[in-house]
Structure 1
Amino acid sequence: MSKLGSMYIVLDAISNGTPTHVIPKKHFHLPPGMGQLSRVIFKTVCHCEVYQSLTECDEEIAEYARNNRVFAILGQDSDYVIMDTGNTLYLSIEHLNLRNMTTRLYDRWELARSLRLHPSQLPLLATFMGNDIITAQDLRPFHLNVIRQPVYNRNINFRMLVPNIAMFVRTLPLDETQLFSILPDVAIRTLGHHSRDRDIITSLYSYKSHAIDHKREGIDMNDHWSRLVAEARYRHQINELPSMVYAIMSGLPFESATSIEDFRKNDLPTFASATQPIRERIYGILLQEKPLPESGAHLVPEWCMAGPGSLDQPNYVPAMPPVSPHPGLLALWNDGQRYLSVRWSLFVSSVSHKLDVSRVRSTVPSYLVIPTLILFNINELGCLCPWEVDAMLATASCMKYYNVTKLAALPSDPVSARGVRVANLIMRSTFILYFLLASCGYPLTLEETAPWLFFDGKLFQIKYNEAGSGYSHSRLCDNRVDVLEVFQVARSVVFYNDY
């Protein structure tokens, strides 16, 4: 909810005409979908070998670094200073200066030496400082005690706290067996009750890397569904599928966190509600071959932020089978051109049965397919004005003429608060279409449909203001004939009419 509060501060400031450079940067947030987008950028643009983790990514990164004698980890997670990464260096991405290629080095060996600890004791230090498992609030009485600070003094001096906790850790056995034998007493001292020793153990193990099985061994290859899950797992790890595919097939929930939405208003649908019908069809595609439960239907739990109280309990969403059963996930994912028409039909019809598959496939340029389909879906909800649709289509159609230098030179102001929310709804929804695209076996490639081919936030705000001011389609398209032509093709699909 704190993220939502800071988002409201930004939206209110924009609504009041505050220039963007005046709004405190602490309230800013990354654009939606950066997690999924980064894996695509590194693979398709940087041509890097990319892996996706099966568990906590820091555990797998630390294991990979240690096993492969990696030079350095570039990240922003203090766990890499605590975990055993061998001789791998930890470099701060927060302090990375791309102009002179400098950053800060955090050295776990030097940290341990300065605190007179063995590196293997750093997980104890982190545990008693407070982390995701044992909160600093739980440890507050202990913290006040070790620095001999009165209870009424709310502010804890961390310059005193760290060396004093290190001093306490030095009194504990280095041997793990001996340490675990006295943990109930340690738990009483630090957390007030001997039963909290289990939390300490959980915390310590969270800093250990657990061997991850990266092979498809131990799978019952006689069970068809098990083979499919193993295939999804493998493709997940080698970055061929977005993380949601393997998660859903493994029985995990779909999760959607807070983004740039204003739940105080009802002029736009929430991202969760706007895209639920598409998600239902995606689940139907992915779970078509999974044996049905006794209830006779697959239900997928979802945790989607849709306003206060929306995360109190999961929402169970039914998997809607395709109107025409597909030939199977292995066929969709493996068989090259053989099932290309099936992939296209499954992809487009899963957005809406009203769409003409052959028309979309034959007339809409590949880089405009994603924004065209999602605008069709959102426009069907009756929440956008036609000129708002035009603003997005003009942005998408013009993007090929805007390189990085030209985009950087565009003004950041003025910004429309509703325009920000409209852009967020559109772009978050496009990531559901990437989920669908992968599930269908990629009738279009990621390279053909990458979001930087059709969207830029500053350019969209300019087109949004121009469209709202009544600019003609030609002016919205920068008076370029070729841009106007593809704009009109996409627009005719969104409003399902001829042009």
Structure 2
Amino acid sequence: MGVKGLQSFLECCCPEACVTVNLRDMARQHSATSQREPTLVVDGLACLRHWYSCKDWVCGGQWREYMDVLKNWVEAFTSAGIRLVFFFDGVVEEQKREEWVKRRRRVNGDVSRMFRYIKAHGEQPGRELFCLPSGLSTFTCCALSSLGQEVFCSLREADYEIASYARQHSSMGILGQDTDFIIYDSAPYLSVAKLQISSMSTVLYDRQRLCQTIGLTVSQLPLLACLLGNDVVSMEKMQHIRKNAMEAYRKVGLASYSGAPQGQMVLAVAQLVKSLWRKEEMEAGNIPQSLNLSDPLRELIKKGMCYYLLPGKDSLQQDDLSACSSASAFEKYVSPQILKVCREKHVAGEGFMAYGVLCEGVIECSNTLEDEEDTELMPQALVYKPCRQKVYGVLLLLGHDGSTDDLPAIKEWFVYPGSPLKEPDMVHPVPISLPCDRPSLDLLWFGTGPEVSDLRLTSFLSILDCQEFSELKGAVEDSLLAALCLVTYIVLQVQTVSQEDVDAYLSQAVCLRLKSPRELQQVKLPFLSSRAVQLGSLYVRGLAHLLGANSASGCPLPSAALMPWHSFDGRLFHSKYLLAHGGTETSVLLDGDTSCLSMFLHLREKLIETCRKRGRILQSRPNAPSQSPTSAPGHRHTGGGEGWRRGGGAARGGGWRQRGDRHEHGNPGRQWGGGGQHFRPRHSSSYPEEGPENTSCSSKQSRGRSYHNRGRYQLAPRWSQPPAPGAEEQRNKRNDPRK
């Protein structure tokens, strides 16, 4: 992130620009000189790795412990007299899409290596393969708001809005980890990576001292950043400029500098900028004509330099190049009031998904912890695609005749195994059926009265195909109702989800209410299962989709009920998963608590009944873990190797990849085609398209050792179709972590 190589240059070659500061002292000095409350503007996305210090990160997130971390972090600044303002990325600007895709692909590589490690060793890898829990950014924004903090979700590039806010409000500093903040002529740039919360000290990167070292003015820094390479202007496109700069640097005898090669590069490019820049060009803010560039590259650098120009300063056609469009992508389908509220909720971090759909026509989702080698579990992007389509339908089709002939598709940039990310998936809205005659979105959002409240709940449940659960509103906690809706939706969409998986999901949601963060930290895991890791991430991504469905429906449930710290803990879920698949008694699974057991059985019965109505018969597929034959003595059991795949729980016939190869909008080059329409469920009165009749299983009975005593389900008979010849050998070869 930021300017390529500038961070290392600052720390290794320009130590005079790296000043250790005490934030308490800095706050007192700022208050004395400015007569204002000292405010620190925080780049939320850059802080996530700093904040998430919980032991487990692969299991889906230790959310209650994480909430305590955030609370303590905020209190440390509050006690120092520092006000915090948080910014989170709300959009990905198209000029940065290429860089966004590159980063997502790099993280995909880390995720793949992480899963190979788990399957080989049955434990979490070290921090060198650390990946943020799925959905961490989305829910951190909500968590900070619940702690009473001021939170903004950006309408354009977050770095720009952070620097703009800090400059306009004379903030004491910007806390982040991005060298773009030293290029902006804004508040001082403070490092979150160097932050010591116990002493409230960190490193300040001094903009003026950097300029003195490299011989430039602050106004010349944007051109330096573009020539070195940043998120707008890639390093590759400026490579010839830097090469020429290094040659000129050596010819004039300036290469006697003994520092690192990157240090020479920064100094050489700075020398080039200084030699090219005439006074009149500097004042006009133009790109020096003597910099020999083609017209496309000149326009690209213009955009790159405009990116650093803040409000109130002369700009290079700043208004024309602004990333914030005032026009909505679908303004003719919704009222101006809807657009206004949608924008306000987005900025406040409350309107998940709606702003991207109505105002941009684009939504994106970053990397999720899912195994690209697993052919049995669909990626979350495809699992929740039918849900998103119905959310789009609520936002765009309510109050209309339901025709989608002239309605543009939503562009989805979702990261999942098999997606090359060369272009977005084009996804069309799908209407939902409501009891009244085409109610408008304005009625759903702004109407009053019990009838409207019922309509909102019906809309929300229809998106998830769980209309029968309306009777549970008020009878169970809202967080448990949300959990039940989500698990039911997962079961209907993913045919390889078993009874044991449902037990794990529901038991941890029920038991979580009685556990403190300390108790959750003490949950013991003998080993990790790669499949449980995926199921944990799938659930958390589902909660984000519930936020979107709730927002689109006018918020029938309080947003707090959809937060993971109320219905999910990754470590607890993983524990319940291992117990359920090991054949543990139901009472033991519920920690011997009779009230928890009663609630669990009630929710499970509702789920089974709803699924049965849709032709989805839940099956018992206990995959009892076994010692991997390749494990060395002392190693933990594997969590996703052969021992898990041989237990009779795998769906035969090649898994979802072979079944889900239909494409929407004719994109045959994509292996899985964004899921197409193949995974879209029919209405509640019929079978899902990918129904149980297409999910054959081994005829071998493989129930856990205690399942005859549990007796809680009406068990469906095993499918008798045998696996294809050689399927077992092929699957074992594919799942070998050494391959």
TM-score bucket (shorter structure): 0.7 to 0.9
Q: Is the 8 A contact 1:72 1:90 kept in 2?
A: yes
Give the SS at the match of 1:287. helix
1:35 aligned onto 2:137: yes
Q: Is the 8 A contact 1:285 1:321 kept in 2?
A: yes
Query: 1:183: how far off?
Result: 3.4
| Structure 2 letter corresponding to 1:494 | L
Q: What residue in structure 2 maps to residue 320 of structure 1? A: 430
Q: Structure 1 320/293 Cα, relative in aligned 2: closer, same or farther at 3 Å? A: closer
Q: Is the 8 A contact 2:122 2:529 kept in 1?
A: no
| Structure 2 letter corresponding to 1:307 | P
| Structure 2 letter corresponding to 1:136 | M
Picking from 379, 383, 388, the partner of 1:274 is 383
Q: What residue in structure 1 maps to residue 89 of structure 2? A: none
CA distance in 2, matches of 1:336, 1:18: 53
Q: Is the 8 A contact 2:398 2:438 kept in 1?
A: no
Query: 1:411: how far off?
Result: 4.4
Query: 1:65: how far off?
Result: 1.0
Q: Structure 1 284/335 Cα, relative in aligned 2: closer, same or farther at 3 Å? A: same
Picking from 1, 7, 11, the partner of 2:115 is 11
| Structure 2 letter corresponding to 1:231 | V
Q: Structure 1 389/174 Cα, relative in aligned 2: closer, same or farther at 3 Å? A: farther
- With 326-335 and 229-238 compared, the bigger mean Cα shift is at 326-335
Q: Structure 1 77/216 Cα, relative in aligned 2: closer, same or farther at 3 Å? A: closer
Q: Is the 8 A contact 1:183 1:197 kept in 2?
A: no
Q: Is the 8 A contact 2:351 2:551 kept in 1?
A: yes
- With 361-370 and 2-11 compared, the bigger mean Cα shift is at 361-370
CA distance in 2, matches of 1:357, 1:298: 33
| Structure 2 letter corresponding to 1:482 | S
**1:24-82 deviations in whole A, cap 9, x for unaligned?**
423221111122112101111x2112222111111111111111111222222221111
Matches within 5 A, 1:23-422: 23-44=125-146, 46-85=147-186, 88-148=187-247, 157-171=261-275, 172-176=277-281, 183-188=288-293, 193=294, 195-210=296-311, 225-242=335-352, 244-288=353-397, 295-297=405-407, 299-324=409-434, 327-335=439-447, 338=450, 339-352=452-465, 355-380=467-492, 381-411=494-524, 414-422=527-535
Q: Is the 8 A contact 2:188 2:206 kept in 1?
A: yes
Q: What residue in structure 2 maps to residue 475 of structure 1? A: 588
The gaps in structure 2 that reach 5 residues or longer are 1-104, 251-258, 313-318, 611-711, 714-739
Q: Structure 1 261/224 Cα, relative in aligned 2: closer, same or farther at 3 Å? A: closer
Q: Is the 8 A contact 2:399 2:441 kept in 1?
A: no
**1:368-387 deviations in whole A, cap 9, x for unaligned?**
12221111011123221111
CA distance in 2, matches of 1:317, 1:223: 17
**1:97-140 deviations in whole A, cap 9, x for unaligned?**
33333322222223223323211211122111111222222333
CA distance in 2, matches of 1:329, 1:295: 20
**1:418-439 deviations in whole A, cap 9, x for unaligned?**
1101111122122111110111
Q: Is the 8 A contact 1:15 1:416 kept in 2?
A: yes
CA distance in 2, matches of 1:329, 1:90: 44
**1:262-310 deviations in whole A, cap 9, x for unaligned?**
2322211121221111111101111125878882455322232343345
Q: Is the 8 A contact 1:364 1:489 kept in 2?
A: no
Give the SS at the match of 1:73. strand
Picking from 447, 458, 480, the partner of 2:571 is 458
Query: 1:175: how far off?
Result: 4.2
CA distance in 2, matches of 1:16, 1:205: 49
Give the SS at the match of 2:345. helix
Q: Structure 1 27/403 Cα, relative in aligned 2: closer, same or farther at 3 Å? A: same
Q: Is the 8 A contact 2:501 2:577 kept in 1?
A: yes
Give the SS at the match of 1:51. strand
CA distance in 1, matches of 2:219, 2:595: 63
Query: 1:490: how far off?
Result: 2.1
TM-score, structure 1 as length reference? 0.88
| Structure 1 letter corresponding to 2:381 | A
The gaps in structure 1 that reach 5 residues or longer are none
CA distance in 2, matches of 1:294, 1:477: 47
What is the aligned residue count? 482
| Structure 1 letter corresponding to 2:278 | P
RMSD: 3.1
Query: 1:216: how far off?
Result: 13
CA distance in 1, matches of 2:137, 2:235: 28
**1:81-108 deviations in whole A, cap 9, x for unaligned?**
11121xx222222232333333222222
Q: Is the 8 A contact 2:507 2:590 kept in 1?
A: yes
Q: Is the 8 A contact 2:327 2:359 kept in 1?
A: no
Give the SS at the match of 1:302. strand
CA distance in 1, matches of 2:525, 2:199: 26
Give the SS at the match of 2:266. helix
Q: Is the 8 A contact 1:410 1:458 kept in 2?
A: yes
Query: 1:177: how far off?
Result: 6.4
Query: 1:174: how far off?
Result: 4.7
